[in-house]
Amino acid sequence: MEQREVLVVLFDGVQALDVSGPVEVFHGAAQAGPAAYRIRTASLDGAPVRTTSGLTLVPDLTLAAAGPPHTLLVPGGQGTRTPDPRLIDWLRANAHRARRKVSVCSGALLLAEAGLLDGRRATTHWMLCDTLAARFPAVRVEPEPIYVRDGDLATSAGVTAGIDLALALVEEDLGRDLALTVARHLVVFLRRPGNQTQFSAQLAAQTAQRRPLRDVQQWITENPAADLSVDALAERASLSPRHFARAFRDEVGMTPGRYVDRVRLEAARRHLEDTVDGIEQVSRRCGYGTPEAMRRAFLRVLGASPAEYRRRFRTTRPPLATS
């Protein structure tokens, strides 16, 4: 079997988890199955680098000494704000030699600075999506997904999304069972699909300023199977339906209907992930009424049916040894 070299670019101000998360995934895959990955780290001059959290990472070699890798992984961190021009030059001259180019979090800014994202779909940490789009208008920025695949290019959102992306790459290389074995070993409960939003329903929305609307938001979260029509929610907030709908949209940043849709989808996902309840039971508990209604919602937002969503995260493969 082909051994795929993963070359991780290091620089001062790199985010430690952007490095260690994907590295642990690829290392775990090599332990659990065939030795399919060789992981090496490199910096411009081969000297140790200081991470944003103060840890010191010692690279294996200099970037100049690195041959063409199978997967080039560019992490993020505060060091991407004012990158060393030599690093950008190296990426511009050498990244195309990698069969697969991957960024984690703000590492997408380094790829964009080197012109590697022009005309491509990409994402990054939600706080930096506007910056990426403004500085590099040729990049097709997708702010919601936790990772985006575009041919030989893969970009991910912040920190833990790099683990999700690495697991997806392992699945592509070595199969679903092995990827899920690694996920279990790392106590990553699930490998999330890439088009899953970076936010939960509550984080994606604003918190209402007025107490009655905040209470309604909380009640929706706790009671997804209840009658969540505008009329019912307006009555709970002691407002007229028209006034409630307008105030909710103004303060929360989305319509009541859209907020309810997000909460119900999130609740259904959690049930599928955390329980063995049947699809019909989950659909009732989460307010969909019928499995077909839930299936349509999953396909529209996640691109997978509830059954497929659950199946992706099941494996019969034994767990990795812990020693």
Catalytic residues: 105
Helix, strand and coil in the chain, % to nearest 5: 50, 15, 40
Structure-token pair, residue 161: 């999304």
Q: What angle do CA 54, 148, 166 make, to 5 degrees?
A: 55
Query: Using only C-alpha atoms, what is the Rg of the chain?
Result: 22
Would strands 140-141 and 147-150 be described as parallel, antiparallel, or unpaired?
unpaired
The answer to whether residues 104 and 162 touch, using CB atoms and an 8 Å cutoff, is: yes
CA distance 138 to 158: 22
The answer to whether residues 18 and 76 touch, using CB atoms and an 8 Å cutoff, is: yes
How many secondary structure helices (H) and strands (E) does the chain include?
14, 11
Count the neighbouring beta carbons within 10 Å of the beta carbon of residue 106: 26
